[in-house]
Structure 1
Amino acid sequence: MRNNGSDVLLTAIAPIVWGSTYIVTTQFLPDFSPISVAMLRALPAGLLLLLIVRQLPRGIWWLRTFVLGALNISIFLSMLFVAAYRLPGGVAGTVAAVQPLFAVFLARLLLSSPIRPLSIVAALVGIAGVALLVLTPRAALDPIGIAAGLAGAASMAVGNILTRKWQPPVSLLTFTAWQLTAGGVLLVPVVLAFAPHLPAPTAVNLAGLAWLGLIGAALTYVLWFRGIAKLDSSVVSPLLFISPLTAVILGWTFLGQTLSPIQLAGVGFVIGSIWLSQRPAR
């Protein structure tokens, strides 16, 4: 499959925006529970898109939509926000950086895709680069946060591969609306059971939720699923390395965090990993 540069760039917008999740969560939504933020990010965005497309799944796509909604939205976002609240943003991003490596082997298992040695090398270089970026001596390694980050990475890897395998019979906007709504609906009973008391939202909270829902979910998932449909999984997954890189840059820009020479070397590793992943198979 030949890679189109514009397709890659459009797909890369999603992890760039997702990299802002950590700073928005901690600075705009400090009093919300992770599961509540996950639901409030997915469900309103999904319902808004559903009102626009006005189309529901049919037949087997009801089941597939809820399976994909659980993997790509419910589980992934819940684990993402648990990691975001319990770990520094960069550390959470480092844990999530194993997703491209998961994707290489899952694509072989579920899609019979060949395992490209270059894809494995690119994934390992990317993980090393993200580690250099964020694993400073002051980094807090909370076990629950790390476990949540790994679970979220695995869930999204399986969801992305199944998305490519099943190829929805509708537009990307409709497909995104289905998944966000299904994922949000699945989170409602969990929120009612474990976090029923939401704080009264302030203007800052609403701004954070609007960014996470409208831009960080409705827009970015459309672009991400478009990339999955048009590009090989070995090309799409490494783009997730951009997310922790964005988190570190935002922390440096807005929170006064410093960038050491080792971290700058990590930037080079991440960029090199993404470049390697885009090399055509021979």
Structure 2
Amino acid sequence: MNPQDRTLAAAGFIIIYAVVIGFTDNYVRVIAAEGGLWQFHATRSVMALVLLAVAGLALGLRLRPVNLRAVVARSAIHGTSMLIYFGALAFLPVAQVAAGLFTAPIFVLLISRFVYGEGIGPLRVLAVAVGFAGVVLVLGPEAMAGASVAAAVPVLAGLLYGMGNIATRRWCPQESAATLLGGFFTALGLLGALGMAVLALMPLPVPAGADGFVMRGFVWPSQAFLFWTFVQAAGSLLAVGMMIRAYQVATATRVSVFEYVILPASALWGWILWSETLTPAAAGGMGLIALAGAIIAFGGRRAPATAAAG
């Protein structure tokens, strides 16, 4: 039996996800100052998988997949999405890359409607449009500038991220969140190890500091790198677990719009941790993002609960 569609519960899971991820991702700049993307993914995944194994034994979590092929496919899609996303940071502005990833709710809407025949309704379409308009305001006009073939790369990450989110509920309805967490971190760990191997065989010139994050291969880790990577591992376990639960209890077209709240959460932590301030346009964009979530939550309460096809 498929899980009951619970929109407000999903919203709560996504808010926890956004608050935790917003905090931990603000410290990626500290990790990037000395480490590399690939070593970061590999190290974080090992730490996360060890923590997950310990938690599984202590809490009796089910880690064995019910459908191994589905879990592997979903993990590969999500892992590849993150690989493309971080790889695009090497040659495109951060705002443009982020805007590309946040096209995911649009793809979720299109795939759900035209591939799975799900009725999406005008409220969900409106919420996606309002939320994405808010994202553009938060990121600024530079996010939409420089349209080119290269600029389409982050949009591919958004497409794959949306596909992976749909797969969570439609391909893996009987899997535990712990199982999907294990698959996600295993995929990222393997991709990180592969990247380090390639850079060891074909090293690239590496700029100093954070500018060399994507091109940097293995370096001997400092205590700061290991500490903040461990914080990332622990935080990601909790946050991604909350995200997975959200997509398990509600349809992807509703949950994907709630994910827009990551931007305001990251901005809030940026203000608290680094005294970064927002422009009036960015503040207005956050208001639109909140409105998009309210549209979905209100529509979810009015609509009858439905179960997605497995």
TM interval, short-chain normalised = 0.7 to 0.9
How far, CA to CA, are the matches of 2:268 and 2:283 in structure 1? 11
> Is 1:254 the equivalent of 2:269?
no
2:241 to 222, 225, 231: 222
Identity %: 20
> Which residue of structure 1 lines up, in the alignment, with residue 284 of structure 2?
265
- Structure 1 residue 268 displacement after superposition: 0.9
The worse-fitting range, judged by mean Cα deviation, of 43-52 and 23-32 is 43-52
- TM-score scaled by structure 2? 0.77
> Which residue of structure 2 lines up, in the alignment, with residue 71 of structure 1?
77
1:157 to 154, 159, 162: 162
How far, CA to CA, are the matches of 1:222 and 1:249 in structure 2? 22
How far, CA to CA, are the matches of 1:206 and 1:144 in structure 2? 37
> Which residue of structure 2 lines up, in the alignment, with residue 238 of structure 1?
257
Relative distance call for 1:27 and 1:20 in structure 2 (3 A) is same
1:212 to 206, 209, 232: 232
Secondary structure at 2:261's aligned position in 1? helix
> Which residue of structure 1 lines up, in the alignment, with residue 44 of structure 2?
41
How far, CA to CA, are the matches of 2:124 and 2:159 in structure 1? 17
CA contact (8 A) 1:80 1:152 kept: yes
2:26 to 23, 26, 48: 23
Return the letter of the residue paired with 2:74: L
* Structure-to-structure mapping, 1:47-86, within 5 angstroms: 47-50=50-53, 52-53=55-56, 57=64, 61-72=67-78, 74-83=79-88
The worse-fitting range, judged by mean Cα deviation, of 83-92 and 37-46 is 83-92
- Structure 1 residue 34 displacement after superposition: 2.7
- Structure 1 residue 228 displacement after superposition: 0.9
The worse-fitting range, judged by mean Cα deviation, of 148-157 and 233-242 is 148-157
- Structure 1 residue 27 displacement after superposition: 2.8
Matched length: 279
Return the letter of the residue paired with 2:224: V
- Structure 1 residue 157 displacement after superposition: 0.7
The worse-fitting range, judged by mean Cα deviation, of 178-187 and 223-232 is 178-187
How far, CA to CA, are the matches of 1:212 and 1:257 in structure 2? 21
> Which residue of structure 2 lines up, in the alignment, with residue 9 of structure 1?
12
> Which residue of structure 2 lines up, in the alignment, with residue 201 of structure 1?
221
Secondary structure at 1:199's aligned position in 2? coil
Which runs of 5 or more residues in structure 1 are unaligned?
Answer: none
CA contact (8 A) 1:38 1:77 kept: no
How far, CA to CA, are the matches of 1:114 and 1:30 in structure 2? 46
Return the letter of the residue paired with 1:105: L
> Which residue of structure 2 lines up, in the alignment, with residue 135 of structure 1?
140
CA contact (8 A) 1:88 1:140 kept: no
Whichever of the two has the greater Rg, that structure is: 2
How far, CA to CA, are the matches of 1:243 and 1:113 in structure 2? 26
Return the letter of the residue paired with 2:172: Q
Relative distance call for 1:253 and 1:84 in structure 2 (3 A) is farther
Return the letter of the residue paired with 2:130: V
- Structure 1 residue 203 displacement after superposition: 2.4
Give CA-to-partner distance per residue, 1:74-94, whole Å, 9 cap, x none.
Answer: 212223333556666555433
How far, CA to CA, are the matches of 1:119 and 1:249 in structure 2? 26
- Structure 1 residue 231 displacement after superposition: 1.0
Relative distance call for 1:186 and 1:272 in structure 2 (3 A) is same
- Structure 1 residue 7 displacement after superposition: 3.7
CA contact (8 A) 1:90 1:247 kept: no
